[in-house]
Copies of this chain bind each other. A is one copy, B any other.
Amino acid sequence: MAMDGHRGFLALLVSALLVGFLSVIFTLIWVLHYREGLGWDGGALEFNWHPVLLVTGFVFIQGIAIIVYRLPWTWKCSKLLMKLIHAGLNTVAAILAIISLVAVFDFHNTKNIPNMYSLHSWVGLAAVIFYILQLLIGFLVFLLPWAPLPLRAFLMPIHVYSGLLLFGTVIATALMGVTEKLIFVLKNPAYSTFPPEGVFTNSLGLLILVFGALIFWIVTRPQWKRPKEPNSTLLQPNRATTEEVDGSMAINSGHNMDKSDSELNSEIAARKRNLALDETGQRSTM
């Protein structure tokens, strides 16, 4: 891994952090300057925690949690430490998401507004439930030491896919939420007359989208994948270690397809291939 690669990574990381940070700032400006501010009164002040906590936790922190294995200067840190950081950030995001749901349900109940009628609420609640499920399964299978390696190998591509799908769904839900809220509150002047709050909050929506695009780019570049543990193959010569340590979209080369049917053959193939890659002196990015 050349320094050039690290420099390119750093530029993208700084861009992602900047855009993510700006998204949070824009959300704060929205609720503090254009809306009623923040509070826990059952009214609009309490509702306003909903966008603030979601953009902070479910968009920004979740995005960082997704790319945390990809920071090249952490590759010398232990995998366990990185897993703890990944799980910790996702736990914080989940807690903020749950508080943000309490805020909006509280607000609806106080104001006698029905809950769960909009597409935004359906997709959003489903995302929170699946996110917590993903967190629990991740904790049980990948963080606790007891899950057998074939189970980890089988679940890793699903974990990676679900994580990215959930992140994308959360961003789509945030854009629906901005749309809903602006139509509801911008009456006089109307949203359609381009009031400053409308233009400003549309821009917040664009920032959230660009943040998602940057995270998606960073997490799908194979060159920024954490290298597999140098001694994992040696320590576990009979297990499918490649997949276990390789949490990325650019992984599992054909042998997770029908694990039950072709497990043995494909694992032999995987080990052969690893061997071949080692022989060329290449770090495996599969």
Quick check: A221 and B119 within 8 Å, CB to CB? no
- Sorting the interface of chain A by its residue count into under 10, 10 to 19, 20 to 34 or 35 or more gives 35 or more
Digitize A89-123: 1 where CB-to-B-CB distance is under 8 Å, 0 elsewhere. 00000000000000000000000011001111011
Digitize A245-286: 1 where CB-to-B-CB distance is under 8 Å, 0 elsewhere. 000011111111110011000000100110111011011011
Quick check: A117 and B192 within 8 Å, CB to CB? yes
Which of A43-51, A175-183, A233-241 lies at the interface with chain B? Answer: A175-183
Quick check: B114 and A193 within 8 Å, CB to CB? yes
Distance in angstroms from A166 CB to nearest chain B CB is: 10
- A198 interface contact, C-beta 8 A: yes
Once A222-B253, A223-B254 are accepted as A-B contacts, the answer to whether A282 and B269 lie under 8 Å apart by CB is yes
Quick check: B269 and A182 within 8 Å, CB to CB? no
Task: Name the prevailing secondary structure of the A interface residues.
Answer: helix
Distance in angstroms from A159 CB to nearest chain B CB is: 13
Q: Which of B5, B220, B258, B272 contacts A249 (CB 8 A)?
A: B220
Interface residues of A in 9-55 (CB under 8 A from B): none
- A139 interface contact, C-beta 8 A: no
Distance in angstroms from A224 CB to nearest chain B CB is: 8
Distance in angstroms from A39 CB to nearest chain B CB is: 24
- A206 interface contact, C-beta 8 A: yes
- A202 interface contact, C-beta 8 A: yes
- Cα distance A187–B241 in the bound complex, in angstroms: 57
Residues of B within 8 A of A256 (CB): 223
- A209 interface contact, C-beta 8 A: yes
- A171 interface contact, C-beta 8 A: yes
Quick check: B176 and A254 within 8 Å, CB to CB? no
Quick check: B258 and A222 within 8 Å, CB to CB? no
Residues of B within 8 A of A118 (CB): 179, 182-183, 191-192, 202
Interface residues of A in 158-176 (CB under 8 A from B): 161, 164-165, 168-169, 171-173, 175-176
Residues of B within 8 A of A176 (CB): 172, 175-176, 179
Q: Which of B119, B221, B262 contacts A178 (CB 8 A)?
A: B119
25 A-B residue pairings within 8 Å (CB atoms): A1-B254, A2-B261, A2-B262, A4-B257, A114-B193, A117-B191, A117-B194, A119-B202, A119-B205, A119-B206, A157-B221, A164-B216, A171-B172, A175-B175, A180-B183, A222-B252, A222-B254, A223-B254, A223-B257, A253-B282, A253-B285, A253-B286, A254-B283, A273-B277, A276-B276
4 residue pairs, one from A and one from B, having the closest CB atoms = A172-B172, A223-B254, A253-B285, A276-B276
